[in-house]
Amino acid sequence: MTDWSPTSWKSRPATQQPAYPDPAALETVVGQMARLPPLVTSWEIESLKAQLAEAADGRRFLLQGGDCAENFQECESGIIADKLKILLQMSLVLVHGTRKRVIRVGRFAGQYAKPRSEDTETRDGVTLPSYRGDLVNHLPFTEEARRPDPTLLLRGYERAALTLNFIRALIDGGFADLHHPEYWDLGFVKHSPHAKEYQRIVETIGQSIRFMETISNAPIGQTSRVDFFTSHEGLHLLYEQAQTRQVPRREGWYDLSAHLPWVGMRTCNVDGAHVEFFRGVRNPLGLKIGPPMTPPWLGDLLDVLHPDNEPGRLTLIHRFGAHNIADCLPPLIEAVQKSGRTVLWCCDPMHGNTEKTAQGIKTRKFEHILAELEQAFEIHQKMGSYLGGVHFELTGENVTECTGGARGLTDDDLNRRYKSQVDPRLNYEQALEMAMRIARRVAEMNGEG
């Protein structure tokens, strides 16, 4: 790796970084973080990379999901467990429909920083820094709350550790054991319009496991256990830098703040600081691509971020919107095919489908989300490419943030339980329904419908 170091990004234009008023305090915090133990390990990262490589080849399927932004207050056992439950349930449905092993990656344990379209916000003639997520400042519109506070980096790091510790303990304790999917039932599953279909899938999978165990005369230890990996947008470069380390007996540098960091749409300039930073780490990377992306720009990004065509290294997460995907996606698939490189293609049907209601509430329509996904499957298949993953903003809670779905939520329902401070998420039922629709679609494509 030529001319790269964990701080070489500092010589490039770095967008979306907070302006901290006290550089000495910031330096102290970054120094402290750099000495704390890492959140994840290089062998977990390499294991995920190997699994993503199989997904890129069509042998696995990636499910990535979680909040748009985590916040510090919601670092609570119930909320974390419910997020795991919905991801587990969705993955079970996807295993059933795709007949593939599913890689589960949460948008959690570090998804605390948000890109903003403006550095400042003005209300009634008062201009203050924009809220950039709990890692940076606080939401209330006061000077004190909005002042970027470097100690929040440490608080975020600690909450990420608490979240991850709880998730690891649940999984090690058997919570995610495929023999006991009843552990994952959310309280209101019984009243869900999808309860029957879900129960049927659970039973079929339970039977298959018991059948395999009977014929092999041993418990399927490995297959019945599931992994969870973490991901977040690699936005706050000092946070990432402080946790980027060299590890014994491996070459290169690892960003040990998450298994799968991704570069967002607003920070993917080839010459910018974010691309400079992430080109140098050995992690698998996500790269968000939206309507502004062009084939030459993507070609340049592949040269910088994926120069050696290392299996599993790059996941392209496209997010165009139901109305744009048919125009935007094909030229980019072609650009990747021409480059001769292999990537894992993943569809984020959320970020291109955000709209505002007449009352000014940010929402997304279930049918637009589904329409983008269906087109994505079709376009990839037509072009001899493979859509190997999906990326959602969702929660295990019973919120009303997106409209539509089997319960037919409308704009009027949005006032009832709208909790997100940023983007609207699929609620538990909508997320499960989405998984079922995808599973059915893939089964049809495979001629099993």
Binding-site ranges for Co ion (CB under 5 A): 68, 423
Task: Specify the stretch interacting with ligand PEP by CB under 6 A; choose among 45-53, 83-91, 224-232, 261-269.
Answer: 261-269
- Give the C-alpha separation, 378 to 376, whole Å: 5
In whole angstroms, how close is the CB of 224 to ligand PEP at the nearest point?
Answer: 32
Contact 316, 328 (CB under 8 A): no
Task: Specify the stretch interacting with ligand PEP by CB under 6 A; choose among 29-37, 47-55, 123-131, 259-267.
Answer: 259-267
Does 364 contact ligand PEP by CB under 6 A? Answer: no
Nearer Cβ to Co ion, position 68 or 281?
68
In whole angstroms, how close is the CB of 305 to Co ion at the nearest point?
Answer: 22
Q: Please choose, from the candidates 397, 285, 398, 394, the residue with its C-alpha nearest in 3D space to the C-alpha of residue 346.
A: 285
Q: Please choose, from the candidates 380, 285, 344, 384, the residue with its C-alpha nearest in 3D space to the C-alpha of residue 56.
A: 344
Q: Which does 104 bind (CB under 5 to 8 A by kind): Co ion, ligand PEP, none?
A: none
Rg (alpha carbons) of the chain, rounded to whole number:
21
Considering only 85, 259, 319, 365, the residue that binds ligand PEP (CB under 6 A) is: 319
Contact 171, 85 (CB under 8 A): no
Does 441 contact ligand PEP by CB under 6 A? Answer: no
- Site pattern 44..73 for ligand PEP (x: CB under 6 A): ------------------------x-----
- Give the C-alpha separation, 90 to 107, whole Å: 15
Q: Which two tokens mark 187?
A: 């309280």
In whole angstroms, how close is the CB of 284 to Co ion at the nearest point?
Answer: 21
Task: Specify the stretch interacting with ligand PEP by CB under 6 A; choose among 14-22, 148-156, 263-271, 325-333.
Answer: 263-271
Does 115 contact ligand PEP by CB under 6 A? Answer: yes
Cα of 281 vs its chain's centroid, Å:
18
Q: Which does 206 bind (CB under 5 to 8 A by kind): Co ion, ligand PEP, none?
A: none
- Give the C-alpha separation, 240 to 397, whole Å: 29
In whole angstroms, how close is the CB of 247 to ligand PEP at the nearest point?
Answer: 28
Contact 58, 416 (CB under 8 A): no
Nearer Cβ to ligand PEP, position 351 or 368?
351
Q: Which two tokens mark 314?
A: 């790059």
In whole angstroms, how close is the CB of 218 to ligand PEP at the nearest point?
Answer: 42
In whole angstroms, how close is the CB of 22 to ligand PEP at the nearest point?
Answer: 28
In whole angstroms, how close is the CB of 38 to ligand PEP at the nearest point?
Answer: 23
Nearer Cβ to ligand PEP, position 38 or 115?
115
Q: Which does 264 bind (CB under 5 to 8 A by kind): ligand PEP, Co ion, none?
A: ligand PEP
Q: Please choose, from the candidates 79, 87, 82, 81, the residue with its C-alpha nearest in 3D space to the C-alpha of residue 105.
A: 87
Does 258 contact ligand PEP by CB under 6 A? Answer: no
Nearer Cβ to Co ion, position 68 or 305?
68
In whole angstroms, how close is the CB of 255 to ligand PEP at the nearest point?
Answer: 17
Write out the binding residues for ligand PEP, residues 323-362 only, by CB under 6 A. 351
Q: Which residues contact residue 156 at a Cβ distance below 8 angstroms, ignoring those fewer than 6 apart?
A: 72, 110, 112, 113, 134, 135, 239
Residues at the site binding ligand PEP, with contacts judged by CB under 6 A: 68, 115, 233, 264-266, 288, 290, 319, 351
